[in-house]
Chains A and B, each alone.
Chain A
Amino acid sequence: MIQLIVFLPLLAAIVAGFGNRAIGNVPAKIVTTAALFASCLLSWPIFLGFMAGTSSATVEPLLNFIQSGDMNVAWSLRVDALTAVMLVVVTSVSALVHLYSWGYMDEDPDQPRFFAYLSLFTFAMLMLVTANNLVQMFFGWEGVGLASYLLIGFWFRKPSASAAAIKAFVVNRVGDLGFMLGIFGTFLVFGTVSIPEILAAAPGMAGSTIGFLGYRFDTMTVLCLLLFVGAMGKSAQLGLHTWLPDAMEGPTPVSALIHAATMVTAGVFMVCRLSPMFEMSPVALTVVTSVGAATCLFAATCGLVQTDIKRVIAYSTCSQLGYMFFAAGVGAYGAAMFHLFTHAFFKALLFLGAGSVIHAMHHEQDMRYYGGLRKKIPVTFWGMMAGTLAITGVGIPGIFGNTAFGFAGFHSKDAIIEASWAAGQPGVWFVGVLVALLTSFYSWRVMFLTFWGKPRWAASEHIQHALHDAHGHDDHAHDAHHVDDHHANPAKAEDAGHAPHDHHDAVHAPAEGDGGYHPHESPLPMLIPLIVLSIGAVLAGFVFHGYFIEPSAGEEFWKGALAFREHLMHEMHGVPLIIKLSATIAMLLGLLTAWYAYIKNPSFPGKVIEQFGVLYDFLLHKWYFDELYDLIFVRPAFAIGRFLWHRGDEKTINRFGPDGSAWLVQVGARVAGRFQTGYLYTYAFVMLIGLTAAVTWAIGLY
């Protein structure tokens, strides 16, 4: 069964990818979507089995992979509670995204390729989550990286898309460097790459030291930190996050599936999968916590000021991943996985909702040109509303002894915030609460700018373009492909990798008015996923929180699939009332601020920007990370490359090597000029004679 779940998407990808134009759009879409729905339907019973406590961890061997002495790697599929969670997340979101893409990509000329990539991604992701050894995990890890590269660069004619694709791949490779060294070190220490064997042996390595780069460190700290570098790359944590916002160049369904719900959570999954290892290194856990908290805060601040709807959600994703990491760092692995689980639903929902808005607005992504869409696209509005309620964590805290009830994010995010307090990390708790406020603000900002207020579409070039095109052919996909038209104006914020060129006071500059354009609600294939995910965003937290984080139920559910700290989960319930309420209060404050700034007094943001121009610029430029990296990595790499090529190879090695000897030969040639004919065969002939002479001499030695 698990074989079917994993390999159906691969099979579908092969059929759609290689069949491509030969089989046509519709069959390719049917094959891939059907395969994913089948995988999804097969996955839920596995998850339910673990919930009911009737299933236990199994490993299905497939084939030998690499056997090199002690290094024994097999292709196999592992299913335990942790895998089961990921299975339902991956296959459900993927199936819905496939369906959604029927509508979103309807007018694209290259649909089989798109669906093949989506299915290929799903296969790689499933290989990752079912890995029983680190090498197969790495296979899936890189496989999703490939799919991500292909999908970000799907509209390969757009220079910004192919640039973003390379950036994503290369930055991820920086993380993979750490992952690979981590695997090498793990093999060196444990003599195996099998995850269960490593986890079983990990406790015995406490207090051990290891040499690394000439110094000696605590063994488990070295291994965990190396592996964590990999997780940082894939999950876009601070320092290695720069690829994620640019990845929004890909089609929106891709952003929903890969860059929100599944692939970017692989790092969190890895830390949870290897949690018994991380448990052995307090230093590594501190690093995980710090990096998570820093990313959480950093990304949220960037999200505050972005004007591209997808970029706001991208930074939001980055920030929520930070939550998951610091949850893992304080030892609340269950809470980390819980947030991963709920986040997958509501963030996919938000992205697909944003996609629906973009679809309705003729590929306009700048929120400054939205407004008043509530009535025009009601289903999308209510879907995004559910997503926003979920991500901001709206709910009724269980302070009167009753059971808490709220939207998905309420259960999972509050659990993380409470856990950080219970783990004795008030600093982290503070960051968590602060970011809850920021999350609430930027999420509502999206809602208010998009759905409330008066229409501001008239100024949008995309809309104007649509109006002009209306009598010709209304081909959206063609739109996305026509780079010349769309990127003629450099001020468009969707140009990845380019600094936004907006003026400070431009936030509300676009004139009001709909310019005669009437947005339409998206077609049914796009609305169904929104509705299904909305249900998830409403209920996922309440229904499942017992299994993920309740002390005894959690222990039973996870069955050792991750290092479940029952003790910490107990203490979470005992945190002071103010701590329990803190996240909710922060959420309300954020909502209130957003309401004041974007509904009550729309001139307010402009004033703030005028007052704090420097800070605004700093945030708008995402803390200048891209500029910094360009300055210290990209440019020097090219400069050094050029230097080594011209100065090293040509001016030094060649000059003193072959060219130098050539010069010597030339001098010699003046002496022996008459023997130099300049013809190749003469040289070859002389060589042969020399060879023969040498051999004869050798024979003569005997």
Chain B
Amino acid sequence: MTGFPILSVLIAVPMIAAIACLFVSANTARMLALAATLIDFVLGIMLWMNFDIGGAQWQFVEHAPGIFGPFGWSLGIDGFALMLIMLSVFLMPICIGASWRSITTRVPEYMAAFLFTEVLMIGTFAAQDLFLFYVFFEAGLIPMYLIIGIWGGANRIYASYKFFLYTLLGSVLMFIAMLYMAKTAGTTSIPALLNYDFPAHVQTWLWLAFFASFAVKMPMWPVHTWLPDAHVQAPTAGSVILAGVLLKLGGYGFLRFLLPMFPEASGQLTWLIFGLSAVAVIYTSLVALVQSDMKKLIAYSSVAHMAIVTIGLFAFNRQGIEGAMIMMLSHGLVSGALFLCVGVIYDQLHTREISRYGGLAINMPRYAIFFLFFTMASIGLPGTSGFVAEFLSLMGTYQVSTWTALLCTTSIILGAAYMLYLYRRVVFGEIKSDEVRGMVDLSAREFWLLAPIAAVVLWMGVYPESFLAPMRKDVSVLLARVDRAKPASDSNPTAGKPATVHEAAHGEAH
């Protein structure tokens, strides 16, 4: 693959398609968008196939200096980025498919916005230059802002406004921090910055500035309130991409910037992450329990799941970080699929009110199976990706803080409660109204949108090795970098006293 700028091509294909979309009819735009995203998906598979597991840290590196003045077009990926790019290119065709019929106004612009989102997502994950990253990262706001604001629900303006306000606040601080870093370190190259040691007291400020941006994107409690509104107002595919990929930008930022660039600060501020995450798990789970709007419920559950990502990342050990990464992938797939499930019935009844449904298992059995499967994946049933994620992440956390692990593990109880309660109200029971009785089961299109996600969720749950292997070496690199700042464990088991053992054995023999 040497010489073939596959990452640039990955970015260029949807870019060109996005521009082309603006000049064609609605149907052509749909076909064009689908073709472009599928091409990107195939390119993504080629990327994965050619990724040398355990090889160089940065692969498929491209560097074209001087295009943008002092900072250049420099791309390259490691295992983390590879996995997240795969997630993006996998979900994109599904998003286009989900919008096939439900979007009828301004289709070309809509498709262009989605393709542009894909460009920016891949760019964010592949960028190797600080400012290139920043441009991609922040520009990701714009198409999503438009998708919510133009194709959203009734209260879309408020939602997009809120979304915008929150994310902007963090961005400003992060940008200032980046300027300082570039000036101090004399480079904007991310790989170089990953090994640059900022003085400890400066690290804290830089950490907080980055944190402000990533925590909003994540989103962490208490800056999460934009998410439920954004989800509720966004069209189905918008929610899928928002939950599936955009939320992962925050986690990726923690992983790429906060931990390796400011290890000391990360170690010192672990308590903050743990505290906010533990609150988030319990707080948002309880809030999810009382929601009457399906999308809001799933949005709140996303906040709880993202808290499991943050605690895993800040556990400073392999299980925690690998669990956090799997959680990001798993959540991207599962909550994306759950939003699709909501979309399927929303398209028929045009309401997200849980109480309007009920008894769907009777006339929509195939739908009920998929919905059940993703519900179970969401609550981390072993055999699905959710379990591997939750289990590893919490296991990592337990090694650092038993309190945090205990509080966050309550998510397996609360998660089961709110998801099964949702499932019961929507799918079980008798059909209560004629409009529900008139609903039809999954169409072939909807079936083929959900089936691939289900397959990957199962794959990741039964044989997560495929997804862990590409990241293994990068986790080692990261751990080597942050090891010096590792917070102390609160468990510290002492060695056993063999004498007692002997006595016990002795006593038993008689």
Task: Spell out A's residues near B (CB within 8 Å).
Answer: 20, 63-69, 71, 75, 135, 138-139, 141-143, 146, 149, 153, 156-157, 159, 162-163, 165-166, 169-170, 173-174, 176-177, 180-181, 183-185, 187-189, 203-214, 219, 279-280, 483, 565, 567, 637-638, 640-642, 644-645, 648-649, 653-654, 657-658, 661-662, 680, 683-684, 687-688, 691, 694-695, 698-699, 701-702
Complex Cα distance, B414 from A640, in Å, reads 13
Q: Are A157 and B500 in contact (CB under 8 A)?
A: no
CA distance A105 to B267 in the complex (A): 60
Q: How far is the CB of A17 from chain B (nearest CB, A)?
A: 8
Q: How large is the interface on B (under 10, 10 to 19, 20 to 34, 35 or more residues)?
A: 35 or more
> Does B361 count as interface, using CB distance less than 8 angstroms?
yes
User: 1/0 contact trace for B69-82 toward A, CB 8 Å?
Assistant: 11100000000000
B346 at the interface (CB under 8 A from A): no
Give the docked Cα–Cα distance between A645 and B323 (Å): 29
Chain B residues in 8 Å Cβ range of A657: 166, 222-223, 225
Residues of A within 8 A of B462 (CB): 63, 65, 75
Name 4 extra pairs, CB < 8 A, besides A66-B464, A143-B381, A184-B405: A139-B383, A208-B495, A208-B496, A211-B492
Chain B residues within an 8 Å CB radius of A642: 290
Most buried by A among B135, B288, B290, B510: B290
Nearest A-chain residue to B321, judged by Cβ: A68
**Residue among A156, A163, A208, A483 with most chain B CB within 10 A:** A156
List 25 A-B residue pairs with CB atoms under 8 Å apart, sorted by A's residue number: A63-B462, A66-B465, A146-B376, A176-B412, A177-B413, A180-B412, A184-B395, A187-B395, A188-B398, A205-B493, A206-B504, A208-B496, A208-B497, A209-B494, A565-B508, A640-B286, A641-B286, A641-B287, A644-B283, A649-B225, A653-B222, A658-B161, A680-B149, A687-B142, A699-B68
A701 surroundings in chain B (CB, below 8 A):
179, 182-183
Check if A644 sits within 8 Å of B160, measured CB to CB: no
Bound Cα distance A54, B183 (Å): 75
Q: A157-B429, A169-B416, A645-B287 are in contact. Are A702 and B69 (CB under 8 A)?
A: yes
Task: Tell me the bound Cα distance from A662 to B158 in angstroms.
Answer: 10
> Which of the residues B391, B412, B493, B508 comes within 8 Å of A189, measured between beta carbons?
B493
Checking B403, B463, B491, B501 against A206 with a beta-carbon cut-off of 8 angstroms, the contacting residue is B501
Q: Are B146 and A684 in contact (CB under 8 A)?
A: yes
B48-56, B420-428, B437-445: which lies at the A interface?
B420-428
Contact B165 A661 (CB under 8 A): yes
Choose among B226, B382, B413 the residue with the greatest number of A CB atoms under 10 Å from its CB.
Answer: B382
Chain B residues positioned under 8 Å from A173 (CB to CB): 412-413, 416
Q: How far is the CA of A688 from the CA of B319 in the complex (A)?
A: 40
Q: Which residues of A contact B468 (CB under 8 A)?
A: 66-68
Q: Are A174 and B398 in contact (CB under 8 A)?
A: no
Is the Cβ of B424 less than 8 Å from the Cβ of A702?
no
Supposing A170-B416, A206-B504 touch, asked if A645 and B290 sit within 8 A by C-beta, the answer is: yes
* Complex CA distance for A170 and B498, rounded to whole angstroms: 41
State the Cβ distance, A217 to closest chain B Cβ, in Å: 10
CB <8 Å contact, A157 and B430: yes
A684 to B421, CA, bound (A): 40
CB distance from B139 to the nearest CB of A (A): 7
Q: In the complex, A156→B360 CA distance in Å?
A: 10
A69/B416 in contact, CB under 8 A: no
Q: Total A-B residue pairs with C-beta atoms closer than 8 Å?
A: 242
Pairs A-B, 6 closest by C-beta atoms: A207-B497, A184-B398, A69-B318, A641-B286, A139-B382, A641-B290
- Beyond A143-B383, A640-B286, A701-B182, whether A213 also contacts B403 by CB under 8 A is yes
Q: Which residue of A lies closest to B431 (CB)?
A: A157
Q: Chain B residues with Cβ under 8 A from A188's Cβ?
A: 398-399, 489, 491, 493
**B392 interfacial contact with A, CB 8 Å:** yes
CA distance A207 to B427 in the complex (A): 52
- Return chain A residues, CB-CB under 8 Å to B504: 203, 206, 279-280
Query: Nearest chain A CB to B215's CB is how many angstroms away?
Result: 13
Minimum Cβ distance to chain B for residue A208 (Å): 4
B394 at the interface (CB under 8 A from A): yes
Known contacts: A156-B429, A209-B494. The answer to whether A185 contacts B290 by CB under 8 A is no
* A181–B429 touching, CB < 8 Å: no
Name B153-183 residues within 8 Å CB distance of A: 157, 160-162, 164-166, 175, 178-179, 182-183
A387 to chain B, nearest CB (A): 33
CA distance A688 to B498 in the complex (A): 69
User: Nearest Cβ distance between residue B443 and chain A, in whole angstroms?
Assistant: 18
* B361 proximity list for chain A (CB < 8 A): 156
**B124 an interface residue at 8 Å Cβ cutoff?**
no
B424: chain A residues at CB < 8 Å are: 162-163, 165-166
- A641 to chain B: which residues have CB within 8 Å? 286-290
CB–CB B70/A180 < 8 A: no
CA gap between A176 and B287 in the complex, in Å: 22
Q: B509: CB under 8 A from chain A?
A: yes
Contact of B286 among A68, A210, A212, A637 (CB under 8 A): A637
Whether the Cβ atoms of A638 and B289 lie closer than 8 Å is yes
In Å, the complex CA distance between A163 and B420 comes to 10
Residue of B whose beta carbon sits closest to that of A69: B318
Q: Check A157/B428 contact, CB under 8 A, given A637-B286, A683-B164, A699-B69.
A: yes
| Complex contacts, A20 vs chain B, CB 8 Å | 365
Is B505 close to A, CB under 8 A? yes
What are the residues of chain A within 8 A of B43 when measuring CB–CB? none
C-alpha gap A67/B392 in the complex (Å): 10
Q: Is B161 touching A662 in the complex (CB atoms < 8 A)?
A: yes
- Give complex CA distance A567, B509 in Å: 7
A135 to B391, Cβ gap below 8 A?
A: yes
CB within 8 Å for A181 and B463 given contacts A203-B504, A208-B493: no
Complex contacts, A153 vs chain B, CB 8 Å: 428
A406 and B463 alpha carbons, distance in the complex (Å)? 49
Partner of B406, one of A68, A135, A210, A213: A213
Closest residue of chain A to B361 (Cβ to Cβ) is: A156
**Which residue on A lies nearest to B166, using beta carbons?**
A658
**A687 partner residues in chain B, CB cutoff 8 A:** 141-142, 164
Cβ-defined contact, A66 with B416, below 8 A: no
Q: With an 8 A cutoff between CB atoms, is B47 at the interface?
A: no
Q: Which residues of B contact A691 (CB under 8 A)?
A: 135, 138-139
Contact of A156 among B145, B160, B406, B428 (CB under 8 A): B428
User: B303-347 toward A: CB 8 Å interface, digit per residue (1/0)?
Assistant: 000000000000001110011000000000000000000000000
Q: Is B236 an interface residue (CB 8 A)?
A: no
Determine how close the nearest CB of chain A comes to the CB of B492; give it in whole angstroms: 5
Which residues of B have CB within 8 Å of A139? Answer: 382-383, 387
Contacts of A698 in B (CB 8 A): 131, 175, 178-179, 182
Closest Cβ–Cβ distance, residue B192 to chain A (whole Å): 16
* Contact residue among A63, A279, A688 (Cβ-Cβ distance under 8 Å from B463): A63
Q: How far is the CA of A207 from the CA of B494 in the complex (A)?
A: 9
Of A66, A170, A688, the contact of B142 (CB 8 Å cutoff): A688
B59 within 8 A of A: no
Asked whether A143 lies within 8 Å of B382 as measured between CB atoms, the reply is yes
Does B410 have its Cβ within 8 Å of any Cβ on chain A?
yes
Known A71-B395, A653-B225; contact A204-B501, beta-carbon cutoff 8 A: yes
Shortest B307–chain A CB gap in Å is 15
Tell which of B175, B182, B398 has the most Cβ of chain A within 10 Å.
Answer: B398
Give the nearest-CB partner of A184 in chain B. Answer: B398
A188 CA to B498 CA in the complex, in Å? 20
Complex alpha-carbon distance, A209 and B494, angstroms: 5
For residue B402, CB closer than 8 A to chain A, the reply is yes
- Chain B residues closer than 8 Å to A688, beta-carbon distance: 142
Inter-chain contacts of A658 with B (CB < 8 A): 161-162, 165-166, 225-226
B490 at the interface (CB under 8 A from A): yes
Residue from the list A146, A280, A565, A638 in contact with B381, Cβ < 8 A: A146
> CA separation between A606 and B88, bound complex, in Å?
70
**A residues less than 8 Å from B318 (CB atoms):** 68-69, 71
B500:A206 contact, CB within 8 angstroms = yes
Contact check, A644 vs B287: say whether CB atoms are below 8 A apart: yes
User: With the chains together, A139 CA to B387 CA distance in Å?
Assistant: 9
